[in-house]
């Protein structure tokens, strides 16, 4: 997923993060730091990581003003080692100190997701199976967190309820069955290019979905052996996605079943923020 830093959702979330942190003013910085003091700040990786979010530094400090230089040394999607400088920023010391936590929060959270995702993408490398993210994201941060999963090597599943059809078990129950759910979706006139996927929970539902020409199947909560058996039965008649309890240590077992995709909610909801430091040095006359 390419990120557009000009997208109104991105600008809005940065503004809200700054307002949340600064409120009526940074009373500590304003009391201890001269208004005209200049400084240089460096964002430094404290551990190996896949980087994401460093480009948001420009938005954070751009909103605050008082910054005259920003250099990004390691871009989103690239790997960093402990001790690497991710970015350098120069400007008013007050601005750097006031904006550092928001800039760090974005980078640490997003790089944590990208790093966590990279372990999953690496686990299935060479199998032909791809990792998908899900909608299990932090409310209000989905666009950013899906950017992070893509930086880590995953493919983005649907962004929301509006850009793909995913018929899940509750939809099937409400519609009256697999056939009825598929027929209702087709009758509704899905726009061209919109993917239609249906979850199947039993062999009976699987056979019914294939009978009515489902072209993308979600197989949930199967063991690797069960998944392999079902995929042999499908025999290429539909694209297959596996989900449910996809633990990292079992991921390759699932990836070698012949599945096209594995979706992992934990890429976002269970990622741990990485450690990034911000160090300021003052400029002397």
Catalytic residues: 101, 136, 168, 199, 220
Helix (H) or strand (E) holding 241, with range, is strand 239-243
Residues 6+ apart with CB under 8 A from 279: 41, 42, 44
Length, in residues, of the chain: 285
Cα 212 from Cα 196, distance rounded (Å): 13
- On whether the CB atoms of residues 169 and 23 are closer than 8 A, the answer is no
Q: What are phi and psi of 278, to 5 degrees?
A: -125, 120
Terminal-to-terminal C-alpha distance of the chain? 45
- Please give the sequence-ordered ranges of beta strands (E in DSSP) within 133-188, or none if there are none: 165-167
**Token code pair at residue 235:** 């025999």
- On whether the CB atoms of residues 242 and 254 are closer than 8 A, the answer is yes
Burial class (CB in 10 A: 0-12, 13-18, 19+), 77: middle
Give 14's DSSP letter.
H
Burial class (CB in 10 A: 0-12, 13-18, 19+), 191: exposed
Find, among 111, 113, 137, 116, the residue nearest to 53 by Cα. 111
Find, among 242, 235, 160, the residue nearest to 194 by Cα. 160
């Amino acid at each position: 997923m390419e990120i557009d830093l000009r997208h109104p959702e991105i600008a809005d979330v940065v503004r809200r993060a700054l307002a949340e942190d600064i409120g009526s003013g940074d009373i500590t910085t304003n009391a201890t730091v001269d208004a005209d003091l200049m400084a240089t700040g460096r964002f430094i990786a404290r551990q190996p990581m896949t980087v994401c979010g460093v480009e948001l530094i420009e938005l954070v400090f751009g909103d605050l003003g008082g910054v005259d230089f920003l250099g990004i040394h390691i871009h989103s999607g690239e790997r960093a080692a402990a001790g690497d400088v991710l970015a350098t920023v120069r400007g008013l010391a007050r601005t750097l100190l006031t904006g550092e936590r928001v800039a760090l929060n974005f980078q640490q959270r997003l790089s944590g997701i990208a790093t966590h995702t990279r372990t999953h993408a690496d686990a299935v490398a060479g199998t032909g199976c791809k990792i998908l993210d899900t909608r299990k994201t932090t409310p209000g941060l989905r666009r950013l967190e899906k950017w992070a999963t893509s930086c880590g090597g995953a493919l983005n599943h649907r962004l929301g309820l509006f850009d793909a059809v995913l018929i899940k078990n509750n939809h099937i129950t409400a519609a009256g069955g697999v056939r009825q759910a598929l027929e209702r979706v087709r009758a509704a006139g899905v726009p061209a290019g919109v993917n239609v996927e249906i979850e199947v929970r039993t062999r009976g539902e699987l056979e019914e979905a294939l009978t009515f020409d489902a072209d993308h199947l979600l197989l949930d909560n199967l063991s690797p052996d069960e998944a392999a058996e079902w995929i042999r039965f499908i025999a290429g008649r539909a694209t297959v996605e596996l989900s449910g309890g996809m633990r990292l240590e079992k991921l390759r077992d699932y990836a070698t079943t012949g599945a096209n995709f594995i979706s992992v909610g934990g890429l976002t909801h269970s990622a741990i923020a990485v450690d990034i430091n911000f160090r300021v040095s003052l400029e002397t006359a």
